[in-house]
Amino acid sequence: MVVDTMDNSLFDMKALERRTLEQFSNFSFPEYEEIPDVGLYLKQVVRYIAGVLEPLGIQPLTASMISNYVKQGLIDSPEKKMYFREQIALLMYIAVTKNVLSMEQISYTISLREPGDGMAQTYKRMRSEMLGAVANLPEIGTALHDSAEPEEMLLHNTIILIIYKIFLDKLYVNAKEFYNPLVK
């Protein structure tokens, strides 16, 4: 079917916005204390994280990815093949941020945690920021006027993402120069 982009009846922008925002309506992110701390095997961790992140459409972590993160020293080795809350929280952080950050940037961010802080504070900050961003999507994602065409809205949001990504990359470069911590 060829779509005439000039026919606004086919592209009700408000309906498109509502449909897109509805896809986030069931999104929730568990509190740190709700993350299992009973010890999960690798396949259980993969399923748990995939279930949490599925509403966002984030590519799930695989067992081999998690094993590689252990080998790289990004997360602690499992205890008797079991992963606990702090490791699972860190894996969720990695799963979310790997879509935007390089593994080097993720590793650097992890290295900035305060000694003894563990993953709890980092996870809680990430959760708070994510839930806040999702709550603000109606203002952020639909900042164009009512008569915006689909391509205009997509371009607008693409450019915002690009500028934020460029800003974030420069922020990492400047943070490394300014703080220069010893990376694990």
In tens, the pLDDT along 153-179 reads 777 778 888 888 888 888 888 888 887
In a domain, 184, yes or no: no
Structural domains of the chain, count: 1
For the entire predicted model, the pTM comes to 0.79
Q: Report yes or no on 144 lying in a domain.
A: yes
pLDDT tens, 113-144? 776 667 888 899 989 988 888 888 777 655 55
Is 6 among the domain residues? Answer: no
Residue 77 has pLDDT above 60, yes or no: yes
**What single DSSP character describes residue 100?**
T
> Which of 28-32, 80-84, 133-137 has the highest average model confidence (pLDDT)?
80-84
First-last CA distance in the chain: 54
Domain extent at residue 119: 14-23+30-179
The pLDDT score that the predictor gives to residue 103 is: 92
Q: Is 162 part of a structural domain of the chain?
A: yes
Number of Cβ within 10 Å of residue 138's Cβ equals: 13
How far is 141 from 153, CA to CA, in rounded Å?
A: 8
What's the number of CA atoms in the CB half-sphere (13 Å) around residue 107? 12
* Residue 133 in domain: yes
Q: Is 56 domain-assigned?
A: yes
| Least confident residue range of 66-80, 95-109, 143-157, 170-184 | 143-157
Note the pLDDT of residue 184: 42
Average pLDDT of 40-69?
93
